[in-house]
Amino acid sequence: MAFRTRIGFLGAGNIAEAMIGRLYTDSSFDVAASRRDAAKLEELGKKYGVETYSSNRGLVERSDVVVLGIEPSSLAAVLKEVHGQQAKLWISLVNGASLAYLQQSLGKQALVRAMPQIGFKYGHSVTWYAANGDCAQGDIALAERVFAAGGISRRIGESQMNAATAFSCEPGLLVQDLIADQKALDGEGLKVDAQALAYLLRGTASKIEELGIKGASASVATKGGSTEAAHRFAEGKGLYALREQRVSACVRKSEELSRKT
């Protein structure tokens, strides 16, 4: 029987649950989770068939890899609870929590700070991550094996993690943009359903993979056509500049959370 990596999730927020939803289908992982809310923990266990723990310390004891999937406001209390415990690898999904802060509580252990997206559940996430100096090559390989279950990964310096957080906000922002477009099209008499929007995104994604972002943009904009007219309108109204400011707002929030930990 092949060895299965025991991965435990301390908390199960949106991104952590997306990871659980993918990893529990992978036969190379044995997934478990703990959660403060007993009812939601029970629901999580039933939904994915994963082992559940009411004790965070109990979860850490049985895990090779521990994923911190909690809210920033709960981090200090949880770290205090598991202080002194060891794992092969700790992966933090906590926005703004620096590796130095985590190491103060967890000590000299292999630590990775990661930022996947909600698409992890479907195998379409880019997981940006930074590692501390205690991560050996085997620890990096283990982290990348976890991330590969949900898509691709990119290792970056920790100073880039706040910007990576903004990138990970993009799925939610894109959905809001699509809702606005859907409403506008409805006003023009066209009912656009969720499946149609999903196919639109898949087709666009395939074009970007084939041609790159600039090539994809050029390939769909005919000179003097409707797309060009829409681009000019957006540019004239400052909508692209506002999008840049929207990304900056996400980065600033992540920086603010970093200062609080």
Average pLDDT over residues 55-79: 94
Q: How far is CA 192 from the centre of its chain?
A: 28
Query: What is the spatial distance between Cα 112 and Cα 67, in angstroms, rounded to a whole number?
Result: 9
pLDDT score, position 36: 85
| CA 206 vs CA 28, 59, 62, 185, 199: distances in Å | 29, 40, 41, 24, 11
pLDDT in tens, 184-236: 999 999 999 999 999 999 998 999 999 998 888 777 667 788 888 888 898 99
Average pLDDT over residues 119-126: 94
pLDDT score, position 221: 65
Q: Could you tell me if 89 and 143 are in contact, meaning their C-beta atoms sit under 8 angstroms apart?
A: yes
Asked if residue 169 has pLDDT above 80, the reply is yes
Q: Could you tell me if 139 and 163 are in contact, meaning their C-beta atoms sit under 8 angstroms apart?
A: no
Average pLDDT over residues 132-145: 96
pLDDT score, position 155: 98
Asked if residue 59 has pLDDT above 90, the reply is yes
pLDDT in tens, 84-105: 999 999 999 999 999 999 999 9
Q: Could you tell me if 71 and 93 are in contact, meaning their C-beta atoms sit under 8 angstroms apart?
A: no
Asked if residue 165 has pLDDT above 50, the reply is yes
Query: What is the spatial distance between Cα 19 and Cα 249, in angstroms, rounded to a whole number?
Result: 26
Asked if residue 1 has pLDDT above 50, the reply is no
Query: What is the spatial distance between Cα 129 and Cα 127, in angstroms, rounded to a whole number?
Result: 6
Average pLDDT over residues 75-89: 94
What is the chain's mean pLDDT, rounded?
91
Please give the single-letter amino acid code of residue 76.
A
pLDDT in tens, 9-19: 999 888 999 99
Comparing 4 with 145, which gets the higher pLDDT?
145
pLDDT score, position 22: 95
Please give the single-letter amino acid code of residue 87.
A
Helices 194-220 and 161-187 pack at an angle, to 10 degrees, of 110
Query: What is the spatial distance between Cα 16 and Cα 9, in angstroms, rounded to a whole number?
Result: 7
Structure tokens at 34: 């703990």
pLDDT score, position 102: 95
Average pLDDT over residues 231-251: 89
Asked if residue 2 has pLDDT above 60, the reply is no
